[in-house]
A = this chain, B = another copy of it.
Amino acid sequence: MVTDMPSRPPASRPSGRPRSAAADTAILEATRAALVDLGWSRLTLGDVATRAGVAKTTLYRRWAGKNELVVDAVAVLFDELELPDRGSLAADVEGVVRQFAAILDRPETKTALMAVVAEATRDAPLRERIRTSIVERQKRLVVEGRARAAARGELPDEPDAGAAGRAADLIFDVVAGAVVHRTLVSGQPADAEWARAFTRLLLDGLAGV
């Protein structure tokens, strides 16, 4: 979404014809459909506009380019992420893994996520956009699961806030990275059996197996 809000909260009626909210959702939906049919590289903005029943110029008025559009189109899929309390740290870890795996199983995300990450290596604003709209939503689950485990007494309390943050970052990179690598690089499904084995490894370590 393009955030060019004038910094005036009271009665922010910009006067004039308002942007069609229906067009926004239609465009994002068309983008996901195009990703499924064509993949990242063959996807063109002209095609998306046609699918959405919208003029190409309208698309360019709202998004700077392909990268930003696809990030927004895929980001909504991460809204469904949530972590019900399953009673134990092991069960919660497995729950997180299953959630990540389910999203990465969709063809839209398979082809789009790595592509935008690749683009983000040379585009700081895009990197920030990905961070806030995708990465942080995932990370929330990890932080939440850790807090629960600490409350249950399964993990030692960490008084140092800085160290706790670094630990959460590390665990997040391990969990998300493993699922992504398994799914996209190794090209094999992160199914229930794999999730169980990964959880055991994460909790008990290499020596514990």
Q: Which residues of B contact A121 (CB under 8 A)?
A: 39, 107, 110-111, 114, 184
Contact residues of A: prevailing secondary structure: helix
Q: Is A129 an interface residue (CB 8 A)?
A: no
Quickly give the copy total for this chain.
2
Q: Is A30 an interface residue (CB 8 A)?
A: no
The answer to whether A185 touches B117, judged by C-beta atoms less than 8 angstroms apart, is yes
Q: How far is the CA of A170 from the CA of B209 in the complex (A)?
A: 12
The answer to whether B122 touches A111, judged by C-beta atoms less than 8 angstroms apart, is yes
Please tell me the number of chain A residues within 8 Å of chain B, measured between CB atoms.
57
The answer to whether B155 touches A197, judged by C-beta atoms less than 8 angstroms apart, is no
- Of all chain B residues, which has the CB nearest A134? B185
The answer to whether A173 touches B186, judged by C-beta atoms less than 8 angstroms apart, is yes
The answer to whether B185 touches A170, judged by C-beta atoms less than 8 angstroms apart, is no
Q: Is A78 an interface residue (CB 8 A)?
A: no
Other-chain residue from B113, B127, B155, B205 in contact with A202 (beta carbon distance below 8 A): B205
Q: Shortest beta-carbon distance, A196 to chain B, in Å?
A: 11
- Of all chain B residues, which has the CB nearest A38? B122
